Amino acid sequence: MAAAGASGGRVGSAGGLVLVGVLLAVLPPLGGFNLRPSPHRVLSHNGSRSFGHQVLQLPGARIVVGAPVEEGGGRLYRCEVQGEGCTELEVVKGNSSVSHMGMALTRDGDSTIACGPGLTRECDRNVYVSGVCVLLDPELRPRQELFPGFQGCLPGTVDLAFLFDGSNSMNSQQFGAIRDFMVEVMEQLSNSSIRFAAVQFSDQAQTAFTLRDYAERPRPRELLQDLVQLRQLTDTFSAIKFVAENIFTPEQGARAGAKRVMIIITDGDATDTGTVQEAEERGIMRYIIGVGNNFNTPNTQLYLSQFASRPSSEFVKVLDSFDKLRGLFRELQAKIYDIEGTSDQNRFHLELSSSGFSVAAVNGRQVAGVVGADNWAGGFLQMGPGPELFVPSPSLAQNLTDTYLGYSVVGVPHPGRSLLAAGAPRHGHVGRVVVFEAAGGDWQELQSLPGEQVGAYFGATLCALDGDGDGASEGLLVGAPLHYDGRRGGRVHLYAWEKDRLKEAGELSGAPGHPLGRFGAALAALGDLDGDGVAEVAVGAPMEDEEHGAVYIFPGCKGGVEPRYSQRLEGRAGGFGIRYFGQALDGAMDVTGDGMVDLAVGAQGHVVVLSSLPILTVTPLLSFSPPLIPVRAVDCSATAGPRVRLRLCLQPRLDTKSYTGRPVVPLAFHVAVDPQRVRGRGVLGAGGRRWDGRLELRGEETRCLEETLHVLTCLEDFVTSIRVAVNFSLHPDDPRDAPRLVLNPESTAGWTEIPFEKNCGADEVCEADLGVRELPGDAVLVGAPGMGLAVALKLWNRGEDAYGATLRLRHPRGLSFRRAGATQGSSPVAVSCQEQGTPTATGPRDLGCNVSRPVLRGDSQVVLEVIFDVLQNSSWDEQLELTANAS
């Protein structure tokens, strides 16, 4: 907004002293506002690179810092901003480390919740991944451990029988390869809960050992040490029936509820006929391995599929040599685990939930994001109070997986309601945010906000807005840090409430020139930094400036956030070589002890504490005496111009009322006279048009200084008021020191005007009485080249001052105006003349003259002499007529 340019008007007068309110110049904040760009403190701990992944401010000038990628597990640190530094926190049963602990942090009343989504355990060689969340008391001592989404190992999940070929079509070496393969599988899975049995078949089926035998003596080499090859036909169908009817029975050690698996190993075609109906009826999954050179025909897969489960492509394996059995274990192991891990062979539920990837507190409910649930469709878990409650992703209804719902979660304040927003940055490749409401104990989907750009990771970060702190959210910020538009990398979408629905209300972007900056990778609702009663917002862009990172501050406004940032803070500005500055943010409270909200910024291996600076609004007040400049004192006849006493007062007001200190502010000020003019109409002090100085403001006390304005004489313009402009700025004692506060950018300049008096009577309406006549004497026209005609006139004003007095002189067309002069007594008077209108071929011409510009004083007279040139080839009578009138 440009500076305004009109006087504030007269507000009062006393004793000839006029106080004029100054209209302030409104200037946009460029290059920063009131976060000190140099760090208050930079925290770190023993070179930890993941230190600073998450930050959380707490009362008592403390910051909890997450370091989720540490050797031996993630860690939490307690940092005393005004103390000695950072120390590790004990989080779980005497340990300071839990895998990925510190990935997510949040406040819940006077408690702190810290989560690590990397709790792993092995179940029958399956690796399950859930998480641990710890509730810490106000002293950051462990109060409660929570294990959201924990899935215990399920014993007795698989009973597995080997049905292996012992016919005479293979030699003893090949038969031994089958035996060794079975032993390897059983030994590799010996610490699992899988039970094994083995049956050899040829023209008959012969049990090597049962499921019960293995349970009582799980030593496969001993169980198979007396194995002898049968060396007869290959009756495969009857052997499958035998195993189904005689091995998978309670008497032989089969367990109720266990999945039943049969692995068939054969080297040739069956010599009998039949079906696998008995195995199908008993729900036995059949995996067949065809090995040897008897299966080298195009129909091999089709032939073997009659023995296998469906789909046969998943349950048939063909090997062209017995040697390749040795490399089959890993594939078979994965197949067994897939069968063992879940009743749905193609879906995990909470086995890989990664619970605690994000965390939020919503009206007493603790909620953890579970991005890995249901094949990474995601969801969230209500950890408490009460029993654990899993809320799945609504996308499962469309059979959509890999959406990552729960990648981010945040409570959305709303009076009388419990609302939660959850981000799913991979939903449909463009991302989505789902808003839920807890009504009647259950969470219901309230609204879905779709992303726009493929791969933008819309919903990766979320931030609820409560700008005025009344407990009711004004809206929601949604980060899309991978958004790309060619000039900027990352975007933040603003949503505002409208009739119980969130509607998109704008976008926030960073500075151009950072296409890979990841603007929006971190979001934080700050406190009120600038004292306007509305909270600000911080946005992190950790990949800007060649991965040094940056943080943007956006001013809050009624109902949302201003789209233009007020400050950009650079990670490399501190000179510490910091990278990824802005990967985590929190700015909810004071941690430096001055009563003002401060910002904690996470970076790689560091936490940077940025303190807020108090904001001072300084109102300049200019007064002057006398109230009007006497006009007669600036006439050319005056020997010295009038003096005006100027008084400059600077009235400070602290905008940031939370500031507990008493600011001492050295100000540099600059006062200029008629700054818009090339030639001024007055000088200050020793003779210049500027008055430069400094003064010190203390607290909110008004300080004043005085100076004398010397108005010049013989002014051409004594109608327009003399403008006096003032601007001021901080003037630190030591230029190397950072400022102790900042000035409100809307109050660093102003101006006022000093008017000239008007001789217009009590009604202040000037009524002039002008007249003109020819002076005595003869005007002789000599019609010779180079000669001219001089006309002498007297112009008078017997009334009040005449502004813009004009003499109009009509003359024959044979005369051409040369020059004019005017005097008042012995002093010259300004006069300017110009031909008027468009000349005609035969008619007279008009000459207009501005006399005593701009004012012809009352009771004054002026003598004018107007000289004309005589045009050649003009014809004249004995007399010529000139007509003059004044207005």
Determine the 3-state secondary structure of 507 from DSSP. Answer: strand
Lowest mean pLDDT among 202-206, 687-691, 714-718: 714-718
Tell me the backbone φ, ψ of residue 506, rounded to 5 degrees.
Answer: 150, 180
> Between the CA atoms of 404, 410, 416 and 417, what dihedral angle is there, to the nearest 10 degrees?
-10
pLDDT tens digit string along 283-293? 998 988 888 77
> At 415, is the pLDDT very low, low, confident or very high (cuts 50, 70, 90)?
confident
Give the DSSP H/E element, type plus range, for residue 221. helix 220-223
Topology annotation, domain 10-32+614-754: Immunoglobulin-like (2.60.40)
The identity of residue 656, as a single letter, is T
- The CATH H-level (homologous superfamily) assignment of domain 770-886 is ntegrin, alpha v. Chain A, domain 3 (2.60.40.1510)
Q: Could you give the angle at the alpha carbon of 612 between the alpha carbons of 607 and 615, nearest 5°?
A: 170
The residue behind tokens 């259950």 is 442
Structure tokens at 67: 């370091």
Report the candidate in 410, 391, 388 with the shortest Cα–Cα distance to residue 477: 410
Residues of each domain in the chain carrying CATH 2.60.40.1510: 770-886
Tokens read off for 204 = 């008959």
- In angstroms, the CA 640 to CA 711 distance is 9
Contact 780, 754 (CB under 8 A): no
Question: Is the bond leading into 68 cis (omega within 30 degrees of zero)?
Answer: no
Buried b (16+ CB within 10 A) or exposed e, 528-558: bbbbbebbbbbbbbbbbbebbbbbbbbbbee
Nearest C-alpha neighbor of 357 from the set 367, 345, 346: 367
Of 800, 762, 757, 456, the closest CA to residue 629 belongs to 757
- Structure confidence by residue, pLDDT tens digits, 393-406: 887 777 778 899 99
Q: Is the per-residue pLDDT at 186 higher than 80?
A: yes
- 3-state secondary structure labels for all residues of 409-461: EEEEEECCEEEEEEEECCHHHCEEEEEEEEECCEEEEEEEEECCCCCCCECCE
The answer to whether the CB of 188 falls within 8 A of the CB of 197 is no
Determine the Cα–Cα distance for residues 349 and 149; give it in Å rounded to an integer.
10
Q: Give the CATH superfamily of 158-341.
A: von Willebrand factor, type A domain (3.40.50.410)
Residues of the chain with CATH 2.60.40.1460: 10-32+614-754
Residue 565: the pLDDT is 94
pTM over 0.75: no
> Where in the chain are all domains bearing CATH 3.40.50.410?
158-341
Helix, strand, coil fractions of the chain, as percent rounded to 5? 10, 45, 45
Tell me the pLDDT tens digit for each residue of 124-158: 667 888 889 999 999 999 988 888 888 776 554 78
Which residue in this structure is represented by tokens 């210049």? 688
Partnered with residue 647 across adjacent β-strands are 623, 706
pLDDT, tens only, 536-558: 999 999 999 999 999 999 998 88
Task: Identify the three-state secondary structure at position 794.
Answer: strand
- Model pLDDT, residue 343: 44
Give the pLDDT confidence score for residue 878 in this predicted structure.
72
CA dist list (Å): 400 to 199, 334, 427, 453, 608: 43, 24, 8, 18, 41
| Vertex 852: Cα angle to 810 and 641 (nearest 5) | 175
Rounded Cα distance between 803 and 855, Å, is 4
Name the one residue in this structure whose structure tokens are 């451990």. 145
Give the tokens for residue 13: 């007068």
Q: What is the per-residue pLDDT across 62-98, written as a single tens digit (0 to 9) for each?
A: 999 999 988 778 899 999 998 888 999 987 655 555 6
